[in-house]
Amino acid sequence: MASLRSIQRSLRNPQAGAIIDPMQVDAPPEENDNNEDESYEVDIDSFDLETYANSYTGLARIYRLMYIADHCPKLRPDALRLAISHVIKTMNANLYQVLHHKLQQCQGNILPDVTGANPIDTGLPVFNSAWVETTNQKSAMKLEKLDGDLKNYKSNSIKESIRRGHNEIGDHYVNCGDLIEATKSYSKARDYCTSSSHVISMCLNIIKVGIYLQNWSHVINYIIKAESTPDYTENSELQTTYSSTLKCMTGLAELAGRKYKLAAQNFLKTNLDYWDSCDVMTPNDIAIYGGLCALATFSRLELQNSVICNNSFKLFLELEPEVRDAIFKFYESKYEVCLTILNKIKPILLLDMYIGSHINQLYSNIRSKAMIQYFCPYDSADLRKMALCFNTPLPDLENELMQLILDGHIKARIDSINKILYAKHPNQRVETFEKAMSMAQQYSRYMHILVLKSQIIKHQFNSKLSKSERLSNIGKTINVDFVKISG
């Protein structure tokens, strides 16, 4: 997201912005590789921010509240206040200042009250500069203590303690909002992993930070590293423990890359009993992401086999009855009901930081699929009835159908005068004749080549050219229209 990327860049301290050591191959790039356009605003009447925020933990909760603040003017003050109340429970002093600055801009550029006045007078939380200073001091002291502990672990040469020390420093950097340094600390633990579960845990830590940074190529790389860990494919216990979480992360990365079918396939392989990534997404999110991506890309048969008959994914769908009902209504060809349900939940989905920028594309794909399946069994269809079914004006429906015809998704013609859509059936006789002629021409060409080759062999035409002449003749062809065989 554009707004969070700019904030992340502003939060990096000078050390984080320095040139990365060439040996540190795991350090992510400075710039984000996610270039999605997210400039839109959402108008929503009611939304329970506190319940929504309590579903997440850590930076994920704060970032989601900031995303809502950036895209919903009505909820912006409440979202920023709630984000500030959660930031003060961390050591992220820089983000605390950024949120206060955004809240002041939201309230009309009111200056922060540092005199201790009653916050009720302005309606703004008091900017506590003492908290910022104290937090920075506590953060530095804790980092110094963790570094000292790590040096002691290294002097004792205990790999498990060293690995745990690097992870603790990485957790501290995440708590302070320095995600670049957190990635470096987590990756340093790789040399001290003594089991496959340690390696996968290290990869998951880096994947989580990569998701916060929206660095999806980095996320994919470490998912591959985790899945290629020795003993992972052979140890069923490791697969059971980590497979669902890795599939969720893969699905999220594929969703960010607009590979919706791959995203759906990964989300559908998730098992609720072994899923553990509440600091990034919830089971409700998995139901929404997987359900909408499947609805937009799967065929009717795939929808039945992979979604409707998928017992493990049904547990996720039960958490989001609207998405479940939309999928079932689409499968039952009740497109009007399906699209009505989707339009009802659209404002809420637009406030999701991972799928919000994809909603318009996904909805467009779902609508196009519905039109294709609606017309598939008919030779002709009344556009007036079709417009009522899809709840759209007749001119807009004609434009949508015209685009589908031009793209080759529907083989039909539109009668704009009588408002009827006629199926265009191919002429089997003409197609068979054209195919036969094409095969005859190809056969004739092969025969000419064979005759030419046999005559060259018969008359012993052996080319004796120098190496430079042979190289100069590379790429030259001889076109033979007719070969006359001499007796």
Mean pLDDT of 340-365: 93
Structure-token match 């997201």, residue found = 1
Give residue 30's pLDDT.
41
pLDDT for residue 138: 93
Tell me the mean pLDDT in the region 142-164. 91
155 vs 17, residue with greater confidence: 155
Same domain, 267 and 363: yes
| Maximum pairwise Cα distance, the chain | 114
364 in the same domain as 287: yes
Q: Quick check: is 443 in a domain?
A: yes
CA distance 141 to 143: 5
| pLDDT of 484 | 43
* Same-domain pairing of 417 and 436: no
- Residues 399-420 have a mean pLDDT of 87
Domain-located, residue 27: no
Residue among 344, 296, 298, 289 nearest 317 (CA): 289
Name the pLDDT band for 424 (thresholds 50, 70, 90): confident
Which two three-digit tokens encode residue 87?
A: 């930031």
d(CA 233, CA 230): 7
423: three-class secondary structure by DSSP? strand
With tokens 């059971």, the residue in question is 240
Type of residue found at 186: Y
Number of domains in the chain: 3
- Give yes or no: residues 285 and 391 share one domain: no
- Do residues 186 and 202 touch, judged by C-beta distance below 8 A? yes
- State residue 117's pLDDT score: 46
More confident residue, 180 or 231: 180
Match 């921010």 to its residue by tokens.
49
pLDDT of residue 123: 60
317 and 278 in a common domain: yes
Whose CA is closest to 416, among 405, 426, 402? 402
| Residues 240, 266: Cα–Cα separation, whole Å | 15
Residue spans of beta strands (DSSP E) within 258-391:
380-382
29 confidence band (pLDDT: 50, 70, 90) = very low
pLDDT of 215: 92
Q: Is residue 340, in this structure, part of any structural domain at all?
A: yes
Decide if 374 contacts 366 (C-beta within 8 A).
Answer: no
Same domain? 355 vs 371: yes
> Residue-wise over 72-105: b if at least 16 C-beta within 10 A, else e?
beebbebbbbbbbebbbebbbbbbbbbbbebbbe
288 shares a domain with 341: yes
Residue 389 CA to its chain's centroid (Å): 32
How much of the chain, in percent, has pLDDT values that exceed 90?
48
- Give the C-alpha separation, 127 to 42, whole Å: 28
List, for residues 285-344, the tens digit of each pLDDT value.
999 999 999 999 999 899 999 999 999 999 999 999 999 999 999 999 899 999 999 999
Tell me what the mean pLDDT of segment 65-80 comes to.
91
Buried b (16+ CB within 10 A) or exposed e, 2-20: bbbbebbeebbeeebeeeb
Whole-angstrom Cα distance, residue 173 to residue 182? 5
The reply to whether 354 and 419 lie within a common domain is: no
> Which uninterrupted H or E stretch holds 245?
helix 236-256
Residue 272: pLDDT band (50, 70, 90) is confident
What sign has the CA pseudo-torsion 400, 401, 407, 410?
Answer: positive
Number of other CB atoms surrounding residue 146 within 10 Å: 19
Confidence band of 414 (pLDDT split at 50, 70, 90): confident
Residue 224 resides in a domain: no
Amino acid identity at 28:
P
412-415 β-sheet, strand order:
380-382, 420-423, 412-415
393, 293: one domain: no
Q: How confident is the model at residue 473 (pLDDT cuts 50, 70, 90)?
A: low
Q: Is residue 356 part of a domain?
A: yes
Give pLDDT, residue 468: 62
Same domain (yes/no): 324, 415: no
Same-domain pairing of 419 and 308: no
| Polymer length in residues for the chain | 487
Domain shared by 264 and 361, yes or no = yes
HEC string of 55-98 equals CCCHHHHHHHHHHHHHHCCCCHHHHHHHHHHHHCCCCCHHHHHH
Reading the block at residue 264, the tokens are: 């759906």
- Please give the angle made by the CA atoms of 316, 322 and 323, to the nearest 5 degrees: 55
> Average pLDDT of the chain?
82
Pairwise CA distance, residues 10 & 274, whole Å: 37
pLDDT of residue 471: 53
3-state secondary structure of 223: helix
Residue 467 has pLDDT above 70, yes or no: no
Domain that holds residue 417: 382-423
pLDDT at residue 472 greater than cutoff 80: no
Nearest to 124 by CA among 93, 99, 160, 91: 99
Task: Report if residue 341 sits inside a domain.
Answer: yes
Task: Say if residue 238's pLDDT is above 80.
Answer: yes
The pairing of beta strand 380-382 with beta strand 420-423? antiparallel
The residue among 379, 427, 423 whose CA lies nearest residue 401 is 423
Cα separation, 385 vs 431, in Å, equals 34
Residue from 221, 212, 225, 219 nearest 248 by CA: 219
Q: What is the mean predicted confidence (pLDDT) over 242-254?
A: 92
Distance CA 211, CA 285 (A): 15
- Per the model's pLDDT, the better-predicted residue between 349 and 481 turns out to be 349
450 lies in some domain: yes
Assess if residue 212 is contained within a domain.
Answer: no
